[in-house]
Amino acid sequence: TTRNSRPNIVLLMADDLGVGDLFCYGNKSVSTPNIDRLASEGVMLTQHLAAAPMCTPSRAAFLTGRYPIRSGMVSPYNLNRALTWLGGSGGLPTNETTFAKLLQHRGYRTGLIGKWHLGLSCASRNDHCYHPLNHGFHYFYGMPFGLLSDCQASRKPELHRWLRIKLWISTALIGLVPFLLLIPKFARWFSVPWKVIFFFALLAFLFFISWYSSYGFTRRWNCILMRNHEIIQQPMKEEKVASLLLKEALAFIERYKREPFLLFFSFLHVHTPLISREKFVGHSKYGRYGDNVEEMDWMVGKILDALDRERLANHTLVYFTSDNGGHLESLDGDTQLGGWNGLYKGGKGMGGWEGGIRVPGIFRWPTVLEAGRVISEPTSLMDIYPTLSYIGGGILPQDRVIDGQNLMPLLEGRASHSHHEFLFHYCGVYLHTVRWHQKDCATVWKVHYVTPKFYPEGSGACYGSGICSCSGDVTYHDPPLLFDISRDPSEAVPLNPDNEPLFDSVIKKMEAAIKEHRATLTPAPQQFSVFNTIWKPWLQPCCGTFPFCGCDKEDDILPTAP
């Protein structure tokens, strides 16, 4: 292997793509030739696990190599489990060191194209303390937030839909009071002072303004396109954004092809509202969602073509993954708008079930990794951090716990057993599930202490609320549910002391591991506190004079080197 020269690194992350959505992972109804080509020319991981079943905490773990509970990037509430407003004040703490920062110190040119979703400002509108440029990226072009159905004016709102309905109803009820008070006044039953009527009318108006000023303008406030620190489009023109991101990615490769570069291409695909360009509409057998997957695959192909064209392919490590499992509850009537998680139970938002956290994982590095290798050992998205540090010649931070493991020994075939003995699966701040990969054999045990309550019962997802809860509407298991994932990957047959002689010893071993793990946790500022998650007008990024925000500078600017 060419160890002394550092490779270029291209990381491709899909948004909400299920492990069962790719042809190479067994989906025969969708066509993904470019991602399949990556898999056949590289190494495929079949037990690759996100550290959280939601965008924000999963991405925080990916960038830092640490469980998101360590950086305070998990939520104690069911309502806000990923960041909800660009005008909020939570984000990836500045004292966390991302792999981009490590590689930047090693002379890499680092770029992030696409979705960030790890916060923007702390205390004032343009302090951009959580901005990608403050976290080790030289260049950023994309959405500081991420795609929402709200970004397409014609679609049903996605952000806190049920809460919004309740707010509308409350507004109507408060608004009725002054009208009801007019009845006795005009019917001359008894006199109601105008002051009282005016007071209730004012109250209704203020209540309405207090929530509508944020929720009424979700598209304008959250769906923003930025280049570095500058807003390029507000609101973003959603139908053109995929082409712009691809153009930027290709320009980045062209610009830095002569020095080692790290390109993190964070797709807006395949999150709702599933915007695909015309040539992909009706392209797949799987409706709008399938069209979107196939467009994403085509974009992957364009990036791989650019590496081939510049003769960089042999000298570039390419990695493909998703931030969490497919979103089962994402529906439009009866049409499924979310992904498919293969034979695995559950999906996005579910802390412990395999479908929420098992994601694709593909590594290609032609001169170093043997083509066509398949690894079924448990690996984590947090492993990318120490792996990149190792191949980029960086030194891992010594002052904090890094939960990831360097994957190179496994990928190169020098090791056959994953270094992860225990993996902890959180839902928000709550530990739901633990996985134990026995050191001396291939068995992988999984124990669930908490599982979500499906609605309707037996449906396999939480269709009533749109996403499963982490606490409250859940089932606590005592004794816990135990599965042998190596024999029962779809978690269909819970084991018990009668059919599994090792039941008690496995549970004991898990409890000791939890105790040990909890001893390594130190309190971190809670990024999802109520104060941090509410929308703050003074933090709202704005192109123009607040609140009259809006611009489109994309047409008159050609991408220039930063």
Catalytic residue set: 55, 117
Determine the longest span between alpha carbons in the chain, in angstroms. Answer: 93
Number of neighbouring beta carbons within 10 Å of residue 314: 13
- Quick check: helix, strand or coil at residue 131? coil
| Neighbouring residues of 72: CB distance < 8 A, sequence distance ≥ 6 | 93, 524, 525, 526, 527, 528
Give the total residue count for the chain: 562
- Could you tell me if residue 346 is left (phi over 0), alpha (psi between -120 and 50 degrees) or otherwise beta? left
Rounded to whole angstroms, what are the CA distances from 305 to 77, 309, 311?
44, 6, 10
385 membership: H or E segment, kind and range: helix 384-392
Could you tell me if 543 and 101 are in contact, meaning their C-beta atoms sit under 8 angstroms apart? no
Closest CA to 287 of 329, 247, 332, 244: 332
Q: Three-class SS string for 211-279?
A: HHHHHCCHHHHHCCEEECCEEEEECCCCCCHHHHHHHHHHHHHHHCCCCCEEEEEECCCCCCCCCCCHH
Rounded to whole angstroms, what are the CA distances from 550 to 121, 236, 237, 268?
19, 9, 11, 21
In DSSP notation, 516-556 reads HHHHT------TT-HHHHS--GGG---SEETTEE-EE-STT
Instruction: Give strand pairing partners of 363.
Output: 43, 319
> What is the b/e burial string over 504-520, where b = at least 16 CB atoms within 10 angstroms of the residue's CB?
eebbebbeebeeebeee
Alpha carbons within 13 angstroms on the beta-carbon side of residue 527 total 31
Closest CA to 322 of 51, 91, 80, 30: 51
